[in-house]
A and B are shown apart, each in its own frame.
Chain A
């Protein structure tokens, strides 16, 4: 298996622009997580999907952030409009049914100028 796939690996954009991050979980995994990593706050859970349904989005910073999972093999995290404080590494992770181990993708480094 190719593992969790994220794209793009790097994204540089200007303040006010829309940013879309993409994730393909490991085939057969039914849980998907979006995390954000910053120096100040460390790793934080943004949103959790189970069987394509958002279960917990309490970590989403504000209405500028939205996430979707239209099917079991694809998820997006969108920021609109982006701000410099959104600069961070965004990770997607997936977990199998009845599993405990979350497998992380390589992350997307987002820089908002």
Chain B
């Protein structure tokens, strides 16, 4: 079974600064997907970014980028130029590939506060 660990329950960052959220995972699979979801106070789960394990290049979506270290089983999220609207819970998630792989396994989340 896969596990996802987010070791930082809470973090804060000054507006316009950069922050990195950590995530590690454990799996015996060679190919899989990793995700970061954002859950603002509205409660909506929003997909921020996706990384495919077979791709060496780190995924980037505007101010959001990841540092994917497959050997270390590490998948961190970097938020540049933090904005007040980035205040939210952030969840790291794992999904296997292939027949029968459909379940997202989530970490416990990191609560990020952006300070004006």
**How many angstroms between the C-alpha atoms of A33 and B106 in the bound complex?**
14
Asked whether any CB of chain B lies closer than 8 Å to the CB of A89, the reply is yes
B residues 45-99 touching A (CB-CB < 8 Å): 45-47, 50, 91, 95
The chain B residue sitting closest to A31, CB to CB, is B102
| Chain B residues within 8 Å of A100, by CB | 33, 50, 95
| Chain B residues within 8 Å of A56, by CB | 102-103
Residues of A at the B interface (CB closer than 8 Å) are 31, 33, 42-43, 45, 48, 50, 55-56, 89, 91, 93, 95, 100-104, 106-107, 109
Residues of B at the A interface (CB closer than 8 Å) are 33, 35, 37, 42-47, 50, 91, 95, 102-104, 106-109
If the complex has contacts A42-B108, A42-B109, are A106 and B42 also in contact, measured as CB distance less than 8 A?
yes
Q: Which of A45, A55, A102, A106 contacts B43 (CB 8 A)?
A: A106
Q: How many pairs, one residue from A and one from B, have CB atoms within 8 Å of each other in the complex? A: 42
List, sorted by A's number, 14 A–B pairs whose CB atoms are closer than 8 Å: A33-B102, A42-B106, A42-B107, A42-B109, A45-B103, A48-B102, A55-B102, A56-B102, A56-B103, A93-B45, A100-B50, A100-B95, A104-B44, A107-B45
State the Cβ distance, A98 to closest chain B Cβ, in Å: 12
Contact B102 A43 (CB under 8 A): no
| Chain B residues within 8 Å of A95, by CB | 102
If the complex has contacts A42-B109, A43-B91, are A102 and B44 also in contact, measured as CB distance less than 8 A?
no
Contact A101 B44 (CB under 8 A): no
If the complex has contacts A42-B109, A48-B102, are A101 and B43 also in contact, measured as CB distance less than 8 A?
no
**How many angstroms between the C-alpha atoms of A100 and B43 in the bound complex?**
22
Q: Can you add 19 more A-B contacts, CB < 8 Å, to A42-B107, A106-B42?
A: A31-B102, A33-B102, A33-B104, A42-B109, A43-B91, A43-B104, A43-B106, A48-B102, A55-B102, A91-B45, A95-B102, A100-B95, A101-B47, A102-B47, A102-B104, A104-B44, A104-B46, A107-B43, A107-B44
